[in-house]
Structure 1
Amino acid sequence: MSLADKVLAVNNDLPIRTERPVHSGKVRSVYWLTEADSRRLIQQKGYDVAPDAPLAIMVISDRISAFDCIWHGEGGLKGVPGKGAALNAISNHWFQLFKDNGLADSHILDIPHPFVWIVQKAKPVMIEAICRQYITGSMWRSYSKGERSFCGIQLPDGLTKDQKLDDVLITPSTKGVLKGIPNVAEVDDVNISRQDIETNFSAFNFSQASDIAQYERLLKEGFGVISEALAANDQVFVDTKFEFGYVHDASGQEKLIYMDEVGTPDSSRIWDGEQYRQGNIVEKSKEGFRQWLLNNFPDPDILLNKDRMDEREALARDNALPSEVLMSISQTYVGIAEKIIGQPLDISENPKAEIIDVLRNEYQLID
């Protein structure tokens, strides 16, 4: 079996029983189960959800996205070996740690396979919140041009690139296009302030205004849990994205939960601690791949300028990247995953066949 065969690049063609179209994102595909299958699994497995809660199978892939495009390599390599298993294993680890620390549950109910989650339908909070402990990336680019106000937070003069901040900053942005909110542009991923959220909490899908404080607590305490665990492995937790939603448990109680993924190399920046102390930045996240793209194409503005998306998509489509670049990303993802979970990563030889087998024989979701 070739290396390309071990990569799960296409994850929206599994024969899972569903009555709705498969939703395929940049990395994951979501299969909404039939009402009958959802009810059966809730009863059989004892999931702590309402008896009629809609469930879905979420299947990760090994695809690599950057700058809102999917990239591929030479020799038919359509993804990064081990990437999907690494992302899921890392998220599983952090979500469990949050639960163990009494923070909040996640949308994950069951893990049938390293590439697969069974999740419950949540009402999403329409915010992507970035927690930042260091000034780097887009924040540094804006700061270096003179900007000092970020999502309603004033930063002092005199900060230097990659410096640790005094506090963990929460810099939220909109998730999707939200309409009719004063002072908030009707475009995806626009920065917002805490004042915007407080004044229009229901427009962001918060059930009540008091949940904003809980959301901020879960952000900061979740960041702290991950930061402390990574520091024990001499890794620096720089920043990460969090997403939240609401679900109901078996008793009908509504609760705020973590969702999507958390603390992964896709959604976070992680630096090598020893190198950082020596004044060097060694990325243990997708940021290293982004930097490689910026350094290896003659016009980096194509990758940074949203008005040039057509050119960017053509760049990703028409350029097969060197296989050693994708293998270097694989080493980064697998390496940080194994540090976090404390054991070798379970990497499938034939992920699609394994997923079909377990969902057919153990969950009866494939005819």
Structure 2
Amino acid sequence: MSLADQVLAVNDDLPIRTHQPVHSGKVRSVYWLTEEDSQRLIKEKGYDVAPDAPLAIMVISDRISAFDCIWQGEGGLKGVPGKGAALNAISNHWFKLFKENGLADSHILDIPHPFVWIVQKAKPIKVEAICRQYITGSMWRAYEKGEREFCGIALPEGLARDKKLPELLITPSTKGILKGIPGVPEADDVNITRKNIENNIAAFNFSSVDDIARYETLLKEGFGVISKALEEVGQTFVDTKFEFGYVTDATGQEKLIYMDEVGTPDSSRIWDTAEYNAGKIVENSKEGFRQFLLKYFPDPDILLNKNRMPEREALARDNILPEEALMDISRTYIGIAEKIVGHPIHLSENPKQEIVAILKADYGLVD
């Protein structure tokens, strides 16, 4: 079997019963179940949600997104072998730890297959909740240019690149394009301050001002749990992005939960601690792939400059990357996943066939 066959690149064409168009994101596809199927599964499986909660099947892929583009490799590789299974395994592990530590729930109700989550519909908070323990990436680039305020936080003089910050910082940005917020550009992924959020809670989808402090607490607690666990396997948690939303439980109570993935190499920077202590940065995250792309193309500004998006999209569409570049990221993802979960990551020979068989036999979701 070829490597390309092991990759789940297209994940929006599964024969899952749904009355709505499949929503396909950069990496995951979402199939909203019919009302009948949602209510049947809630009853059959005993999910702790309102009896009429809309449910969805979320299927991850092995596609690799960087700089807001999807990349492909030689040999028909439309993704990274093992990436989807590694990401889901890591998120599942952290969500389990969150539960054991009494943190908030997540939107995941069930895990039928390593590539699949059954989730409940949540009202997303329109904030990319970013937590930073070290100064690197965009924060370092701004600091190096002389900026001393980042997301409304005053940074001290004398910080050095890739070094630990005096304290854990919350540096939020927008999730999606938000309109009509004073001082916030109408663009995705722009830095915002806590004040911006406080003054516009409805625009950011918060139910109350108190929930801003609640999301900050959950962010710091989640970061702490993951950071401590990574330390135990010789890894340093540098920074990460969390997402939050609201759901209603079986008693009708609204609660704030973790959404999407957490603590993965896609949403975080993770460094090898021994190498870091020896003065070398070894990335166990997607950052290694980003750095490869910046060196691989002669004009890195295309990848960094949001005003050159059409050129960037053409770059991703028209260039087949060396197979080794994708296999390198495969080894990184599987390696860090196996360290975190403590057992080997199993790669499916035909993930699509497996998913369909399970959803048909155990969940009655395939005609």
Name the TM tier (shorter chain): over 0.9
Superimposed CA distance per residue, residues 61-116 of structure 1 (whole angstroms, 9 cap, x where no aligned partner): 00001000000000101110000000000001111111111110000000000000
Secondary structure of 1:239 counterpart? strand
What are the equivalent positions in structure 2 for 1:229-248 lying under 5 Å apart? 229-248=229-248
Distance 2:192 2:318 in 1: 36
Partner AA of 1:242 in structure 2: F
Distance 2:195 2:314 in 1: 40
Secondary structure of 2:203 counterpart? helix
Distance 1:74 1:203 in 2: 44
Q: Return the offset for 1:17.
A: 0.3
Partner AA of 1:80 in structure 2: V
Partner AA of 2:29 in structure 1: S
Q: Return the offset for 1:53.
A: 0.4
Which residue of structure 1 aligns with residue 324 of structure 2? 324
Distance 1:295 1:99 in 2: 41
Query: Relative to structure 2, which stretch is displaced further, 181-190 or 16-25?
Result: 181-190
Aligned residues: 367
Partner AA of 2:342 in structure 1: G
Q: Does 1:157 align with 2:157?
A: yes
Superimposed CA distance per residue, residues 298-337 of structure 1 (whole angstroms, 9 cap, x where no aligned partner): 0000101111111111111111111111111000000000
Query: Relative to structure 2, which stretch is displaced further, 195-204 or 214-223?
Result: 195-204
Which residue of structure 1 aligns with residue 140 of structure 2? 140
Q: Return the offset for 1:346.
A: 2.2
Which residue of structure 2 aligns with residue 219 of structure 1? 219
Partner AA of 2:44 in structure 1: Q
Distance 1:202 1:100 in 2: 32
Contact 2:48 2:250 in 1 (8 A): yes
Partner AA of 1:162 in structure 2: D
Which residue of structure 1 aligns with residue 93 of structure 2? 93
Distance 1:306 1:223 in 2: 29
Partner AA of 1:130 in structure 2: I
Q: Does 1:61 align with 2:49?
A: no
Distance 1:56 1:123 in 2: 14
Secondary structure of 1:336 counterpart? helix
Once the two structures are aligned, what percentage of the paired residues are identical?
78
Which residue of structure 1 aligns with residue 270 of structure 2? 270
What are the equivalent positions in structure 2 for 1:98-117 lying under 5 Å apart? 98-117=98-117
Secondary structure of 1:258 counterpart? strand
Query: Relative to structure 2, which stretch is displaced further, 203-212 or 24-33?
Result: 203-212
Structure 2 unpaired stretches of 5+ = none
Distance 1:312 1:174 in 2: 22
Partner AA of 1:109 in structure 2: L
Distance 1:347 1:170 in 2: 36
Distance 2:42 2:240 in 1: 32
Secondary structure of 1:128 counterpart? strand
Please report the RMSD computed on the Cα atoms of aligned residues, expressed in angstroms.
0.7
Secondary structure of 2:245 counterpart? strand
Secondary structure of 2:53 counterpart? coil
Distance 2:3 2:174 in 1: 38
Which residue of structure 1 aligns with residue 30 of structure 2? 30
Partner AA of 2:300 in structure 1: P
Partner AA of 1:5 in structure 2: D
Distance 2:217 2:150 in 1: 20
Superimposed CA distance per residue, residues 233-255 of structure 1 (whole angstroms, 9 cap, x where no aligned partner): 11000000010000000010110
Query: Relative to structure 2, which stretch is displaced further, 194-203 or 170-179?
Result: 194-203
Query: Relative to structure 2, which stretch is displaced further, 333-342 or 185-194?
Result: 185-194
Q: Return the offset for 1:178.
A: 1.2
Superimposed CA distance per residue, residues 194-246 of structure 1 (whole angstroms, 9 cap, x where no aligned partner): 11111221221111111111111000011000000000011000000010000
Distance 2:37 2:17 in 1: 9
What are the equivalent positions in structure 2 for 1:1-367 lying under 5 Å apart? 1-367=1-367
Distance 1:185 1:200 in 2: 14
